[in-house]
Structure 1
Amino acid sequence: MGRKSIPSNSSICDDGVLFILTRISLSRGYGTDQRVRVRINSDVNQPYWTREVILLNNPGRKYTIGSGNDLENLDPEKYGQFLIFRNKADVAEEHCQIECDENGTFWLYSLGSANTFLNGKLIPDSPVMLKFGDIFHFSHIISQLWDSALIHLTKTGYRKRLYRMNKLGEEYAVFKFDKKPTNSYENKQPGQTFYQFSRLSKILN
């Protein structure tokens, strides 16, 4: 993979959660492994952060994001848990990887020649430390000048502009790394309800 080693001045952190920005449809059915917080009487077709995977704070644990077109030939020791996004726009076969170091800090690697943007800025040199609330994606949202400002607005609640589709109708993948909640139902705010959706496969729409 040919990449730099993780710096040693990292600090302990909790388990993380990887969310993906998508539109929710109630027709997907009900389940227990996916909870989406939606305001009562809100438009469920608006984009929401939906939970993709829990990132365990275990030293050496790896999570690789890519299209996984050649998954049978991928080395599980090298790539760890592979998260497949086969029909998302601008996702390379092996695009990026999140790894937890011996001190419990998560790091983001951009693999090969694939572009990865963290909080609106292109990652020039891997790895970079992931902090709770960080947003990463694989292509410019507006432009190099405005993307970081847009990410700032997104962190205050504005999500619509982050959700995009290409001419083929493929969604651009936008992810958020955040802290794992202790209990989703305990954190429910007044005036909100939970719709639960089952994920039958790691392969997204």
Structure 2
Amino acid sequence: MKRLILVVGILMSLSACAMSPSISPPPRLPYPAWYVGLAAPQHMEVWVETVDVIDQRGLRFFRVHGGVASYTGQPEGWGNGAGKSKPINNVDLPERIFLRWQSLVEPQAYKISIQIPQWVRDQMIKPEQAFCLWTSKWEEDYRDALTLGMAPGGIVKVWVGGSCLGYREVGRYQAEVEPLGPYRGASKGKYIPLEPENKAYVDQHGIPYGSW
């Protein structure tokens, strides 16, 4: 309950917004929306404060995603690139993604700006035939999802993929410490509390720095 009260209080103190001129034409994509996924190694709990996007039209969209990241299968290393996904509606393909999050096991707040390469956008609109496990048949699919993987030490990995096509690594990045702390000082230095099971794991095994 204390965790829930703290989260609600912090979120109420912040304004969420998406800013784009109303005169801009809508995105012309082969699907209704692309997706952003959030992931973290098992037990390395993450709270994402914001994901912001500058799309290829040059428009800025703030807080398109956030919250708890889903876990990979193990504390060390990474999974297959999937994560807790959210559709990003009425936003063109990303030119740059801004990410700010709390690594709760340390705890530490990080931020990073990631330039998305052109080859990734090309992949996101390229139709491919793939055998889809969900339907047990061959289908046309797109790599319409970007997953942001976050680990202690400010390590970020990005993948691009689709539900039937699997994921390809875009790159590995090093974030910087947010000097203002969690929520850029709005929470007065208070982090989201670490879940007891994750605290117990870290207390016993430590944080496997260098494995990501």
TM-score of the pair, normalised by structure 1: 0.24
Larger Rg: 2
Which of the two has greater strand per residue? Answer: 2
Which of the two has greater helix per residue? Answer: 2
- Which has the bigger relative contact order, CA under 8 A and spacing at least 6? 1
